[in-house]
Structure 1
Amino acid sequence: MNTFTMVRPEHLNHHGYLFGGSMLKWVDEYAWLVAARDFPGCTLVTRGMDRIVFSKQVKNGSILRFSILPWKQGNTSVTYAVEVHADSPGAMQEELVFSTHVTFVRIDEDGHKTALPKRETYRSMETS
């Protein structure tokens, strides 16, 4: 799945570029939205992000494209590969500016891990 956002002044750090915390918030939120759609009715929480790589500075006014694809599924967790590309103002093409993997775990009403539905009901794998 792809989704987009634009970098605005309130997203900038003291050097005038995108604040890393803003990027991490978007990545967590957008990846969760994909997971929630892939596993409707399941309570999913963020378990973690692996190696977080900020590849390039991102300028104000850049349009960010978040590419979020299923990576792997375990019994109680699912991991998505996330790449973020920036289309900077005046640029001729997008550049990869960020990448990571985000893992979510399904929990029950008591906060304990519980099994995810089987892969055949995993919508992203069917449509990708």
Structure 2
Amino acid sequence: MRYHTRKVVKPGDLNPNETLFGGRLLEWIDEEAALYGVIQLENKRVVTKFMSEINFVSSAVQGDIVEIGMDVVKFGNTSLVLKCTVRNKLTRKTIINVENITLVNLDENGRPTPHGKTKIEYVKDRLAQD
């Protein structure tokens, strides 16, 4: 699992139980998945089609630093399937697991379009090719 983004849990991120609100965490995951998809597929028109069962393992509290990890499960013809783990940066304790986040590559008319990708590509490798 590669961890790409870190967030600090702030007062506005908390639920009435004073733990990280699940909706806020899902917002962060969806945004991270979209960014990952845009970078991998080299297309800014990428949307979330599906999220599998979400498993809240533990909670986070104000001041915790959480990190969001994404890995590619598979490349489809027009899609990219990711898995996600969010964990506490300092304790490494898992907060949430999402086994399947399906993103779809769209054309300028909003229709699914083939992306032609078959493996993970890193920006540093693309830059080396230029």
- TM-score under structure 2 normalisation? 0.84
Q: Which residue of 1 aligns with 2:55?
A: 53
Superposed CA offset, 1:69-123 (max 9, x none): 11111111101110000146xxxx2200101121100111222111112315x41
Q: Which residue of 2 aligns with 1:94?
A: 92
1:12 aligns with 2:14: yes
Give 1:43 deviation, angstroms: 1.6
- TM-score under structure 1 normalisation? 0.86
Give me the whole-angstrom Cα distance separating, in 2, the residues matched to 1:118 and 1:57. 36
- How many residues align structurally? 120
RMSD of aligned alpha carbons: 1.7
How do 1:1-128 and structure 2 match up within 5 A? 1-2=2-3, 3-41=5-43, 43-87=45-89, 93-100=91-98, 101-119=100-118, 122-123=120-121
Identity between Structure 1 and Structure 2 (%): 29
Give me the whole-angstrom Cα distance separating, in 2, the residues matched to 1:20 and 1:107. 28
Q: Which runs of 5+ in 2 are unaligned?
A: 126-130
Q: Which runs of 5+ in 1 are unaligned?
A: none
Structure 1 residue runs of 4 or more that deviate by more than 6 Å after TM superposition: none
Give 1:42 deviation, angstroms: 5.0
Give me the whole-angstrom Cα distance separating, in 1, the residues matched to 2:87 and 2:117. 32
